[in-house]
Every structure is written in structure tokens, then in C-alpha cells.
Chain A
Amino acid sequence: MAEAHGVERQGDAVVVTPTTDVDMSRSPELRQALREAFGSGAKRVVVDLGRVQYMDSSGLATLVEAMRTSRSSKVELVLCCLQAKVKSIFDIARLASFFDIRDSRDDAIGGSAA
């Protein structure tokens, strides 16, 4: 099975980039990558969703769990580059306002809180 995500350090941020659909079969890998990112000493964890064509509620649950970790650990969590189909599931679940979502990766890595 192909690698489900990329991880790279950019300054104080760790950028996690899922490269496949994030569904029930793939969300455990994203959950593990996010746990490692939060434990890496970074001040900000960015999830670049630009390559994700599809996400279901398993993916959303993984991100909600990450947001809870973010709040308890004081490490920022920022999502970026959501495709329209992925954005729509955040809207259906009425979770868009729960997350810090940026249009660009640069903004997500370097921007201050919206």
C-alpha cells in the first residue's frame, strides 16, 4: 500500500500532508502521524489537505481528536488547502468554524491566528 502521508519540518511547524483519501481504512495512519507531529516539539502542526480528494467522518473524527490535543498541548493546529468536496463535509458536519482553516500552505505555516 502506498505511503498515506508526507511529513516535513518547516521552521517551528510540522506539515503533515495526506496523499490519499482519508476514510476509515486510512484515518488510523493519519492519526498516528498527527500524534507524532504533536510530540515532535513543533509549535504548530499544519495539515495540508490539498491532495485529499475525499474524506469521511473517520477523517473528521481524527482531526477533531487532533484539535483536542492541540488545545491541551498548546500546539497550534492549522488546516489548509481544502478541496471543495472535502470542505463540504466540514460544512455538513458544521465543523468548519471549529478549525483554523487557511487557503494556502504558506499562510498556514507562517500566519498568525485568524
Chain B
Amino acid sequence: MTLKDAHVRIELRSDPIYLAGARQLVAAVAQRLGFDDAACSQIALAVDEALCNVIRHGYEQQRDQPIWISLRPEQPDPPMGLRVVIEDEGRQVEPGQIRGRDLEDIRPGGLGVHIIREVMDEVAYEKRDGRGMRLTLVKHAAGSPAGEE
């Protein structure tokens, strides 16, 4: 998603106090695009987990760094489904190395990536040009052929 393609785009600082606001925005947009309460909560959870990972791992808890969240419907007319892109300027990692931990290994931490992959239909990490990472999350509309897979 390019800047021009985004229907909603916000920039926030990498401070956990803004997570609640980001969740509320994403859930409200998802609701307007036809997702039910449970799906809105799941999408907001996935975005929250992604932001936490940027703050924790990308920026190593620095609270004054930029994060961008872009939203647009996955299907334009009528607008349905949701594509979320989260970008940062933090530490780059090889996308193939980003994995959720084994759930049999019960210990604090490491659940975020598992939760993101569990609740979203498409999850793609990539390095941005220069610095930072880009995470693309897609939730298909309920009832769409892709959403019924």
C-alpha cells in the first residue's frame, strides 16, 4: 500500500500509552467496513501485538520513534475486508526469522507473532528500503470467497 492508496494513515510515537488509541481507531474502521464485534477485536489485537513488537524489538523500548499505520478496504466497491500496513524505522530483521514460539513451551513472552498469524488471514513482513520493517496484515470480509477459506 503506498501513501496515496491509504484511506486512513496515522503516525504515532513508539510509546505504549498510545496503543489503546490505535486499537480503538482500527476497531472502529473495521466495524465500519462490516466486521462483527469479534472480528473487530481480533484485528485490533493483531495491530496491538504488531505495535508492541515494533516498540519492543524494532526500537528496543525507545518511546520517541515513529510508527505509521495505514488502513484501506481490501475490496473497494463496496468497501469490504481490511488491509493494514504497519511501518517503522527500527532494527531490520530477516522476515524468515520472524516466527511465533512453540506454544508447548509455556513461558512469558513470544506470543505476539503467534496471535497475529492466528487471527489475520494474510501476514507478510518485509524490510523497508533503507531502514525499518513493513508488516502487511489482511483480514478478508466474512462471506467473501477468501474469507471462507
Contacts and interface: CB of A to CB of B under 8 A. Distances in A.
A60 interface: yes
Given A61-B111, A93-B111, A93-B114, A88 B16 contact: no
B48 A23 contact: yes
Contact of A88 (B38, B52, B106): B38
Interface of A: 21, 23-25, 54, 56-58, 60-62, 64-65, 68, 85, 88-89, 92-95, 98
Interface of B: 15-17, 19-20, 23, 38, 41-42, 45, 48-49, 52, 55-56, 103, 106-109, 111-112, 114-115, 118-119
Nearest to A98: B106
Nearest to B15: A25
Contact of B103 (A24, A25, A85, A93): A93
Given A23-B20, A25-B16, A57 B106 contact: no
Contacts, number: 62
Which 3 A-B residue pairs are closest in the complex by CB-CB distance?
A25-B16, A61-B108, A57-B111
Given A56-B45, A85-B41, A92-B115, A24 B55 contact: yes
Interface of B is mostly: helix
A61 B109 contact: yes
A70 B99 CA distance: 29
Contacts of B111: 57, 60-61, 93
B137 to A, nearest CB: 15
13 contacts: A21-B20, A24-B19, A25-B15, A25-B16, A25-B19, A56-B19, A57-B49, A58-B52, A61-B111, A85-B38, A85-B41, A89-B45, A93-B103
Given A56-B49, A93-B114, A64 B108 contact: yes
Given A92-B115, A92-B118, A25 B17 contact: yes
Given A24-B56, A64-B106, A95-B106, 5 more contacts: A23-B20, A23-B48, A57-B109, A88-B41, A92-B114
Contacts of B45: 56, 89
Contacts of A89: 45, 115
